[in-house]
């Protein structure tokens, strides 16, 4: 299983907000994640936390390009976490080989053809709208049936697959992601994790990002109902990683690479006996 370590070069990300906002700090963080055993570094310059406002394109470029250049030059496999075609193109020119688009091509009409023209792998995540609107869209009423998030996500990701094909992206360069926390309520995330085989049925490798997300905080809330703080959700994330590894998921996007690597080392040893 691929371990993708998160490097957020943003002042306002929910999980590690502001800690790696300048180039030097972000590069140092990336090096630390590599030393901890990351296979890929996912470098992002736009926070997608609910309610976040979008940076200018120039701000996003200034945040991610120097970090990608530095880490790719050191031999790291780099992914860029962006919804913008212009940023994706600049990132690939700077050495990124994966474009991780949380909008699955919906936020920027030029994204899919731009990525198709490169040799990069494309991660298409399930998404419905930018962060300022996504909570309003967390409904999955299926025609003639009850709330069925798994069915809806499979259908909507299937539409994204059709769009990547229409843009000329070959299937072997596409990875799908159910988009935990994006236009999803807590119970939707659990239903999606339980129903991941249906998403895998689309026939593509899956990437899953559960690390530190609020549905884990809510699950582990204290008796007073206060969610478990972000920094204390790692064990829950590791439990999810283990289950996903057993189910053959291609990769996980995580903050705690060292702990994730430990989980996978134990799992691999157990499989070998
Ligand atoms: N989650 C976040 C950002 N990027 N990319 C993919 N492919 N999947 C995710 O679940 C995902 C993502 C938000 O989390 P962060 O603020 O910790 O980066």
Write down all domains in the chain, each with its CATH number in brackets.
2-272 (3.20.20.20)
Provide residues with CB under 6 Å of ligand 1: 6, 8, 13-15, 48-49, 81, 100, 102, 123, 125, 177, 179-180, 207, 209, 212, 253
> How far is it, in rounded angstroms, from Cα 225 to Cα 221?
5
> Residue 48: what pLDDT?
83
CA end-to-end distance (rounded Å), the chain? 18
Per-residue CA distances from 12 to 16, 102, 123, 153, 158 (Å): 8, 17, 23, 28, 32
Q: Which residues pair with 5 in a beta bridge?
A: 41, 254
Local structure of 70: helix, strand or coil? helix
> Residue 217: what pLDDT?
98
Cα–Cα–Cα angle for 123, 129, 133, rounded to 5 degrees: 145
- In angstroms, what is the span from residue 209 Cα to ligand 1's centroid? 6
> Residue 146: what pLDDT?
67
> Residue 133: what pLDDT?
83
> Residue 19: what pLDDT?
58
> Residue 143: what pLDDT?
65
> How far is it, in rounded angstroms, from Cα 31 to Cα 99?
20
**Residue ranges of the chain whose pLDDT lies below 50:** none
- In angstroms, what is the span from residue 179 Cα to ligand 1's centroid? 8
Ligand 1 pocket test: which of 102, 111, 175 has the largest number of ligand atoms within 8 Å of its C-beta? 102
> How far is it, in rounded angstroms, from Cα 267 to Cα 263?
6
The pLDDT tens digits for 148-204 are: 999 999 999 999 999 999 999 999 999 999 999 999 999 999 999 999 999 999 999
> Residue 15: what pLDDT?
57
Q: Which residues pair with 98 in a beta bridge?
A: 79, 121
pTM assigned to the model: 0.95
- In angstroms, what is the span from residue 144 Cα to ligand 1's centroid? 32
> Residue 50: what pLDDT?
73
Angle separating helix axes 186-194 and 149-166, nearest 10 degrees: 70
């Amino acid at each position: 299983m691929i371990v993708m370590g998160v490097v957020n070069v943003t002042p306002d990300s929910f999980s590690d907000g502001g800690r790696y906002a300048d180039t030097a700090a972000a590069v140092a963080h990336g090096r630390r994640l590599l030393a901890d055993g990351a296979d890929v570094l996912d470098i992002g310059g736009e926070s997608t936390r609910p309610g976040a406002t979008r940076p200018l394109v120039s701000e996003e470029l200034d945040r991610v390009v120097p970090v990608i250049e530095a880490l790719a030059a050191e031999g790291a496999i780099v992914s860029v976490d962006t919804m913008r075609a212009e940023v994706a193109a600049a990132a690939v020119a700077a050495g990124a080989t994966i474009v991780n688009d949380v909008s699955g091509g919906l936020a920027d009409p030029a994204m899919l053809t731009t990525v198709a023209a490169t040799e990069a792998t494309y991660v298409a995540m399930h998404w419905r709208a930018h962060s300022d609107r996504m909570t309003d869209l967390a409904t999955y009423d299926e025609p003639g049936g009850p709330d069925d998030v798994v069915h809806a996500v499979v259908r909507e990701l299937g539409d994204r697959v059709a769009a990547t094909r229409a843009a000329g992206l070959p299937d072997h360069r596409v990875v799908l992601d159910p988009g935990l926390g994006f236009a999803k309520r807590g119970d939707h995330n659990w239903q999606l994790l339980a129903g991941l085989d249906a998403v895998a049925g689309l026939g593509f490798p899956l990437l899953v990002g559960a690390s530190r997300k609020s549905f884990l905080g809510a699950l582990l809330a204290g008796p007073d109902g206060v969610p478990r703080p972000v920094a204390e959700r790692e064990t829950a994330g590791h439990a999810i990683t283990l289950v996903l590894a057993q189910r053959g998921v291609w990769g996980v996007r995580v903050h705690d690479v060292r702990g994730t690597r430990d989980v996978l080392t134990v799992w691999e040893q157990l499989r070998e006996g």
